Amino acid sequence: MTKYNYKIIGLDCLDCARKVEERLNKEEKLHNVVINFATSKISYETETDNCFQMINKIIDEVEPGSKMVLEEKEKKEYHYLVLVIALILGIIGSREFKFHEIFLYLSYILLLYPPFKKAWKMLIKSHTINENLLICISTIGALLIGSEMEGVMVASLYMLGKILEEQALNKTRMSIQNLLLIKQDYANLKVGKDFSKISVEDVKIGDILCIKKGEKVPVDGEIIKGKTTFDTSALTGESELVELTENDKIFSGYVNTSNMVLMKSSSLYKDSTISKIIELAMTAGEKKAKVETTVTKFSKIYTPIILLLSLVVGILLPIITNVSYHDSLYRALTFLVIACPCAIAISVPLSYFTGIGVASKNGILIKGSNYLDNLSHLKKIIFDKTGTLTTGNFEVTKIEVLDNEYTKKEVIDILRKGEAFSNHPIARSIMKLDNSKVDTKDVSDYKEIDGVGISFKLKDKIVKIGTKKVCDDDCSYNVSLHLNINSHHVASIYIDDGIKKNALKVLDDIKTLGIKSYIFTGDKKEVAKEVAKNLNIKDYYAEMLPTDKYKKYEEIEKGEITAYVGDGINDSPVLKRASIGISMGSLGSDIAISASDIVIMNDDLRKIPLGIKISKYTSLVIKENLIFALSVKIIILILSIFGLSSMWFAVFADTGVTLLTVLNSLKIIKKFKKL
């Protein structure tokens, strides 16, 4: 099964995109057809070659004039010049003089030709009615009942609205697509002493590539020669430049801002970090939030309801009231103008996609609008400790010698003799206490007890290093490690695994957002307790295996939206199970991207409350758009029934409201510029 992605042009609204998507998904040869109206993209899977023409034929049957294209340029169908000429002709034609009707009819032809052409194709090919036919009927109806100039203004406002709406949509699409212009199209391959420019898709693992100043890194790899600074903001959202040199890893999407360097590729382009990010960003619209699916269902019944109401108004109003048929027809025509649900159908997915794009710009990859929506309703958040809240880089902060027979240097020597046999991170932190070579000839009977410590013989002494469980000595202190010699507590070793910078501030921010925090860790209870205490978190669970985390998550969730934040590796089971799985500091990690719903592209905990704020603001914008669009339409409909509204108001309720809701969605980009 091969997946294809193309640009689709000619779609006027989300409802049109939905109709095409539903029709294509009925084809046996096509699978998982998704049309993203916000980006004008179509994706589908098929095992059949050469489906391009067949698909375009179906698209044209459902939405005449629409099609898939390889080129990025789209032909503009609405032009300011045509609008200006049509308006001038309409104004001239409204004056009383010989043959003035000719000018008026020319104005109508110029204004109605584009929508009439689309409406006619739609009616003939797919036997359906859309807003183009409705605007034609209402405008011609205005001409027939003697409201010629009003008909001209309605058609003119409709055309103007379409022009502005198209420009606003294109601006939004461009803003979002600019976030994804992080791919390097070529690579400078070293061939002997020379360099050859090749397509980035042709890069092989192990190739030597040259990255010049101003160029993007094409694939993931490692610097083998040179030293320079990189702009990593496209991936991490961080504006501060990063200096990297030989043996340092670099990722596709980094921008070289200084000196030329040579790198050795470690991935193909399709497996590179940038490829995964682009794929995630472009498919984010495929996973729709509940609000989107509700709006889609509402759009299906909205237009037929309005059409029925317009017939009721046009036919029954003169029968049950004193309104003339002329006035009732005018009111029915006004209903038709309001019939398209574009303002509702476009603004919701556009707002979600904008929110996802802004998050991506700040180094937060969100896989779909459903996860962005869930984030705004988050009630609980569970943090894995090591690697998430703490650095995982253990450091001995204090050694307290409690036996006068030993000096601090002798205690360090004993500790290093035992820990020299262990690969545990704590052992490595103890080995760093002294750079001298360790002599272990006098060490025997070494044993390592998982999770609690070690024991060994040092000449004639029995030495134990670890928690109170293994030492079983007379020390009552709550310390990280005990040094026990011959069943006597000799020294207390305090170890800090390094709470991350800003962790306390981040957790306080999350608390102010009304979200409760928890800690899960496989570490000792004493360590977990200390970290939880320093971070003001009451609920923590220690000495947990991955299966324990999974079970405890289900106990805590209790039907509420609950996020789990982990490193994306040993936490993958619970990341997949969580309402929202968030991977921290997992740049380039396949496991992180596949297991989680949201990926933080660096180790900055501040991205989590930022992501929550983006989601909440996006939800607020969506509510504003829905309330505004529905309120205006309902008010204009009611006013129309009582003859208090004109077609001009109706055009505003349709095209004008659509434009305003699209512009309102752009607030998300403005509010959350890259921090």
Residues annotated as part of the active site? 384
Find tokens 């095992």 and name the residue. 47
d(CA 463, CA 418): 8
| Distant-in-sequence, close-in-space partners of 96: CB < 8 Å, separation ≥ 6 | none
The sign of the CA dihedral 305, 307, 308, 312 is positive
The Cα 156–Cα 226 span in angstroms is: 62
Q: Are strands 364-366 and 598-600 parallel, antiparallel or unpaired?
A: antiparallel
Say how far apart CA 281 and CA 235 lie, in whole Å.
12
CB 394 within 8 A of CB 425: yes
Beta bridge partners of 399: 493
d(C-alpha 249, C-alpha 493), whole Å? 35
Query: β-strands 488-496, 481-485: how paired?
Result: antiparallel
Residue 477 tokens read as 């202190």
Cα 455 to Cα 576: distance, rounded to the nearest angstrom: 39
Instruction: Return d(Cα 491, Cα 411) in angstroms, integer.
Output: 7
Assess contact for 143 and 238: CB atoms under 8 A: no
Q: What are phi and psi of 540, to 5 degrees?
A: -140, 150
Tokens standing for 482? 């005990």
d(CA 379, CA 580): 11
> How many beta carbons lie within 10 A of that of residue 249, not counting itself?
13
Specify the DSSP class assigned to residue 656.
I
d(CA 271, CA 291): 33
* Alpha helical stretches, state H, 94-218: 100-125, 131-144, 148-178
Structure tokens at 648: 């001009």
**d(C-alpha 405, C-alpha 396), whole Å:** 22
Tokens describing residue 259: 């000196």
Contacts of 150 (CB under 8 A, 6+ apart): 142, 646, 647, 648
Which amino acid belongs to residue 663?
L
Integer Cα distance of 331 and 515 in angstroms? 51
* Separation CA 283–CA 291 (nearest Å): 18
Closest C-alpha to 273, from 249, 256, 257: 249
DSSP string computed for 398-438: EEEE--TTS-HHHHHHHHHHHHTT--SHHHHHHHTT--SPP
Identify the H or E element spanning 41.
strand 41-46
Rounded CA separation 672/26 (Å)? 40
Phi/psi at 669 (nearest 5 deg)? -65, -45
Under 8 Å CB-to-CB from 620, ≥6 apart: which residues?
A: none
Contacts of 475 (CB under 8 A, 6+ apart): 402, 468, 482, 489, 492
